[in-house]
């Protein structure tokens, strides 16, 4: 009887569907969350029924960083916080390179005078690309790819703290001259610059700093119990669910403000394809930025006693800018990504929550976050294979380990302390 059921065509089809849903559960839940946000936008919008600006913006993000604090060793976190080369690379990529490229593209599109593309939508693109790296998704994705998630946490903290100051400055710099109509200084906002910085600092402190600190304290006081809780309750997977909640809030806010109906269908279609293309383009640029081949030619070997002091010091200063694979994946996920959790607050604060153009301004940011998560979920699988391609392989004849020939030469990892390996959403 069982064999007859297993050989039944309907049973095999249903089993295939079930396995597909389990494998791609993240995308399924994300699609359900977006559908619910469209049907019931007032439930999870900012200022809505559940007060998501507190419950999700603070609560969900705080849970992600509390779990990160429980997972990360204090020594490893300190080492990555002092990794100034990575900070320089991420900040220049996240703020300067991405925003300047998109600004140039938007200037070209506006010069073409295409009536189907709203000028305020292009302003929204410029503002979105001036925002800091996302608060939560790149932490979740880096863990899923087995990259240096500790470095990602460090970049999130540094990038978002500085973003509160850099983002408004970039927006003021870009939105001048022909773009003067979109400058926040010309809008009827009800918040001062000091209040803007204060609100962002409060959100970062309560949703990032505090839970990360609590996680570190608990981990060091109760190491055995912390490890048992992480393993027993599968806390490492909680971040993926929290990420879906954050996306749910972002789309609810956008739908409630009629963001997607305030622009033409042609603009939405343009944005969908533009966001995917620009995210992949920025990912490639980030990779080339992180692993410049010319450094291997200039510094082909580690310095010896016979080398000059110039070569020795130059090697120590510049050679580490050729990052190892785990650091590369972490920065590749941080560099092109943009936050909607803080971005929506930054945009609303600068332009005013009652601004009639706010919905259009938020469309590029909300869509970009959704598409970067979707695209990164696919890229993570390839990134994980690339990271482990340099792992030692077992010789089938002798059973001994063989060092991979693909190892990156002469680079010291900033994540030397052991951490719990996390499997992300598959």
Q: Where does the pLDDT of residue 421 fall: very low under 50, low under 70, confident under 90, or very high at 90 and above?
A: very low
Name the residue among 248, 249, 218, 247 with its Cα closest to residue 235: 218
Q: Where does the pLDDT of residue 272 fall: very low under 50, low under 70, confident under 90, or very high at 90 and above?
A: very high
Written as one string, the DSSP assignment of 98-116 is HHHHHHHHHHHHHHTT-TT
Q: Which two tokens stand for residue 264?
A: 């033409």
Average pLDDT score over the chain: 83
Determine what percent of the chain is predicted with pLDDT higher than 70.
86
How far apart CA 32 and CA 394 sit, in angstroms, is: 43
pLDDT score, position 401: 58
Whether 417 has a pLDDT exceeding 60, the answer reads no
| 93-107, 233-247, 373-387: least confident range | 233-247
Name the residue among 31, 61, 76, 17 with its Cα closest to residue 414: 76
Q: Where does the pLDDT of residue 61 fall: very low under 50, low under 70, confident under 90, or very high at 90 and above?
A: confident
Whether 101 has a pLDDT exceeding 50, the answer reads yes
Position with higher pLDDT, 97 vs 15: 97
Whether 367 has a pLDDT exceeding 70, the answer reads yes
Quickly count: other Cβ atoms within 10 Å of residue 264's Cβ. 14
Whether 398 has a pLDDT exceeding 80, the answer reads no
Q: Where does the pLDDT of residue 419 fall: very low under 50, low under 70, confident under 90, or very high at 90 and above?
A: very low
Any alpha helices (H) in 175-237, and if so which ranges?
193-204, 210-221, 223-232
How far apart CA 376 and CA 197 sit, in angstroms, is: 30
Domains of the chain (ranges; CATH) run 53-388 (1.20.1530.20)
Name the residue among 214, 249, 225, 189 with its Cα closest to residue 370: 249
pLDDT score, position 402: 61
| 186-190, 215-219, 309-313, 344-348: least confident range | 186-190
Q: Where does the pLDDT of residue 425 fall: very low under 50, low under 70, confident under 90, or very high at 90 and above?
A: very low
Mean pLDDT of 30-39: 91
How far apart CA 168 and CA 24 sit, in angstroms, is: 38
pLDDT score, position 423: 43
Who's near 424: CB < 8 A, 6+ residues apart?
Answer: 140, 141, 143, 144, 145, 237, 239, 240, 380
Position with higher pLDDT, 263 vs 386: 386
Whether 134 has a pLDDT exceeding 80, the answer reads yes
Name the residue among 236, 203, 242 with its Cα closest to residue 70: 236
Predicted TM-score of the model (pTM): 0.80
Name the residue among 164, 186, 174, 90 with its Cα closest to residue 126: 174
Who's near 217: CB < 8 A, 6+ residues apart?
Answer: none
How far apart CA 383 and CA 89 sit, in angstroms, is: 19
Whether 1 has a pLDDT exceeding 60, the answer reads no
Q: Where does the pLDDT of residue 404 fall: very low under 50, low under 70, confident under 90, or very high at 90 and above?
A: low
């Amino acid at each position: 009887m069982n064999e007859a059921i297993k050989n039944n065509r309907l049973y095999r089809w249903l089993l295939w569907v079930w396995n597909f849903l389990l494998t791609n559960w993240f995308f399924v839940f994300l699609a359900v969350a977006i559908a619910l946000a469209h049907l019931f936008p007032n439930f999870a919008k900012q200022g809505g029924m559940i007060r998501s600006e507190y419950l999700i913006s603070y609560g969900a993000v705080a849970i992600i960083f509390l779990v990160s604090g429980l997972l990360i060793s204090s020594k490893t976190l300190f080492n990555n916080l002092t990794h100034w080369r990575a900070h320089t690379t991420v900040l220049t990529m996240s703020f300067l390179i991405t925003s300047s490229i998109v600004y140039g593209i938007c200037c070209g599109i506006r010069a073409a005078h295409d009536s189907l593309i709203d000028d305020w939508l292009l302003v929204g693109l410029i503002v979105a690309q001036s925002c800091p790296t996302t608060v939560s998704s790149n932490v979740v994705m880096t863990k899923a790819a087995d990259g240096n998630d500790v470095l990602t946490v460090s970049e999130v903290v540094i990038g978002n703290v500085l973003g509160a100051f850099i983002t408004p400055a970039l927006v003021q710099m870009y939105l001048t001259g022909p773009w003067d109509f979109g400058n926040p200084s010309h809008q009827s906002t009800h918040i001062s610059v000091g209040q803007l910085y204060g609100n962002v600092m409060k959100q970062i402190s309560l949703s990032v700093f505090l839970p990360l600190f609590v996680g570190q304290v608990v981990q060091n006081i109760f190491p055995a119990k912390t490890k048992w809780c992480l393993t027993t309750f599968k806390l490492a997977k909680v971040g993926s669910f929290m990420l879906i909640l954050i996306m749910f809030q972002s789309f609810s806010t956008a739908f409630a403000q009629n963001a997607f109906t305030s622009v033409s269908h042609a603009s939405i279609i343009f944005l969908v394809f533009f966001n995917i293309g620009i995210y992949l383009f920025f990912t490639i640029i980030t990779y080339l930025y992180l692993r410049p081949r010319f450094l291997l030619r200039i510094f082909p070997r580690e310095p010896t006693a016979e080398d000059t002091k110039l070569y020795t010091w130059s090697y120590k200063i510049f050679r580490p800018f050729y990052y190892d694979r785990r650091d590369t994946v972490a920065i590749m996920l941080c560099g092109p990504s943009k936050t909607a959790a803080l971005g929506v607050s930054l945009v609303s604060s600068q332009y005013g929550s009652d601004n009639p153009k706010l919905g259009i301004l938020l469309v590029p940011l909300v869509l970009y976050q959704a598409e970067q998560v979707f695209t990164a979920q696919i890229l993570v699988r390839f990134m994980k294979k690339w990271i482990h391609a340099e792992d030692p392989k077992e010789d089938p004849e002798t059973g001994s380990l063989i060092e991979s020939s693909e190892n990156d030469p002469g680079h010291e990892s900033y994540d030397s302390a052991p951490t719990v390996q996390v499997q992300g959403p598959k």
